[in-house]
């Protein structure tokens, strides 16, 4: 996902939702099936993302993990959602998903649901403790969301008589339960405005990284681009992303490198230079820090998996 803000049409006024069934494989490929609006035949898409950039959007998102572990960034926090877990993504939450896993996604466009009387900013929880609903905890909400998400996908697949009404009844039930669940905390409204103000600068930052990660980037370069002093930019980025700027830049470069290792025959040296590392030894050290193994070990694993050697 190269766009920091995700812009998509989410269904229509009668069915303001979009569904994804996503499988992320060991080679960093994504197999997507998605439905939107009235849910005609599933649209299938297979892609090889160059890097899953953290992004945000103005609609709500519910993610339910079916298999594996979904490694997620959610605002400045990092979590590992496992099979059975559900994660609630508020509008304007910064997020991404990586890892070898299968998961279901429901996007909900609140502006097309006239019956929502509550302010959108109050509907989904703001606290990380409430956004990440682990399996076998908070049974009433956890079980309801799991069953409702699966029901929505099954209804789209089988299309029984009146399935559109049945789908929307599940959506309303989920939103109602989520609203009651999120009402346990009052931490949200002041944080929302601050988060939205940050998004303009974060968008500029991510675009600059995307266009320049393969080259040397200094703190003066990025600060000048965003219009902050270097000191203020460092504080701003750490608060918003939970990492220092250079930690994130190295993570981004390593994620680019990981895809190249899994999908090309380039040498480790060629890959290091391609993604912006001038020192091979430093690339080796940083890659192991973020990915848990050296680039050469990852390349050997890919070769063994593909050719049985």
Structural domains of the chain in order of their starting residue, each with its CATH number:
17-182 (2.60.120.280), 190-307 (1.10.10.60)
For 177-234, what is each residue's pLDDT tens digit? Answer: 898 888 765 544 445 555 666 778 888 898 899 899 999 999 999 999 999 999 999 9
For 7-37, what is each residue's pLDDT tens digit? Answer: 566 777 778 888 888 888 765 566 666 666 6
**Residue 79 is encoded by which pair of tokens?**
């979590």
How large a percentage of the chain has pLDDT more than 70? 81
Q: Are 111 and 25 in contact (CB under 8 A)?
A: no
pLDDT, position 1 = 35
Residue 3: is its pLDDT beyond 50? no
Residue 78 CB contacts under 8 Å (≥ 6 apart), including other chains: 71, 72, 242
Long-range contacts: 110-114, Cβ < 8 Å, 24+? Answer: 110/16, 110/59, 110/60, 111/16, 111/58, 112/10, 112/11, 112/12, 112/13, 112/16, 113/16, 113/175
pLDDT, position 2 = 40
Question: pLDDT category, 164, cuts 50, 70, 90?
Answer: confident
| Environment class of 242 (CB within 10 Å of its CB; exposed 0-12, middle 13-18, buried 19+) | middle
Residue 45: is its pLDDT beyond 90? no
* Phi and psi torsions of 19, nearest 5°: -115, 140
pLDDT, position 185 = 56
Sort residue 279 into left (φ over 0), alpha (ψ -120 to 50) or beta: beta
Q: DSSP for the chain?
A: ---SB-------SSS-EEEEEEEE-TTS-EEEEEEETT--SPEEEEE--S----BB-SSEEEEEEEEEEEEEEETTEEEEEETT-EEEE-TT--EEEESSEEEEEEEE-GGG-TT--S-HHHHS--SHHHHEE-TTSSHHHHHHHHHHHHHHHHHHHH--TTHHHHHHHHHHHHHHHHHHHHTT----HHHHHHHHHHHHHHHHHHHHHHHHTTS---HHHHHHHHTS-HHHHHHHHHHHHSS-HHHHHHHHHHHHHHHHHHH----HHHHHHHTT-S-HHHHHHHHHHHHSS-HHHHHHHHHHHHH--
């Amino acid at each position: 996902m190269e766009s920091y803000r995700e812009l998509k049409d989410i269904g229509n006024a009668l069915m303001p939702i979009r569904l994804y069934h996503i499988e992320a494989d060991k080679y960093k490929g994504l197999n997507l099936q998605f439905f939107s609006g009235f849910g005609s035949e599933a649209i299938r898409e297979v892609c090889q993302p160059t890097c899953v950039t953290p992004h945000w959007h103005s609609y709500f998102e519910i993610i339910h993990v079916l298999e594996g572990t979904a490694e997620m960034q959610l605002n400045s926090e990092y979590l590992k959602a496992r099979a059975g877990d559900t994660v609630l993504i508020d509008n304007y939450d910064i997020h991404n998903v990586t890892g070898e896993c299968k998961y279901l996604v429901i996007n909900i466009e609140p502006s097309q649901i006239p019956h929502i009387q509550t302010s959108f900013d109050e509907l989904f929880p703001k606290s990380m403790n409430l956004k990440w609903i682990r399996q076998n905890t908070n049974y009433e909400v956890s079980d309801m969301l799991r069953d409702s998400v699966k029901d929505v996908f099954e209804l789209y697949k089988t299309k029984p008589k009146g399935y559109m009404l049945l789908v929307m009844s599940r959506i309303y039930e989920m939103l109602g339960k989520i609203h009651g669940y999120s009402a346990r905390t009052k931490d949200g409204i002041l944080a929302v405005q601050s988060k939205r103000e940050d998004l303009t600068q974060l968008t500029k930052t991510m675009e600059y990284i995307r266009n320049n990660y393969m080259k040397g980037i200094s703190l003066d370069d990025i600060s000048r681009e965003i219009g902050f002093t270097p000191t203020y930019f460092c504080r701003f980025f750490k608060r918003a992303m939970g990492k220092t700027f250079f930690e994130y830049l190295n993570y981004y470069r390593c994620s680019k490198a990981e895809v190249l290792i899994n999908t090309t025959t380039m040498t480790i040296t060629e890959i290091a230079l391609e993604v912006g590392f001038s020192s091979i030894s430093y690339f080796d050290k940083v890659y192991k820090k973020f990915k848990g193994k050296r680039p050469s070990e990852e390349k050997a694993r890919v070769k063994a998996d593909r050719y049985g050697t």
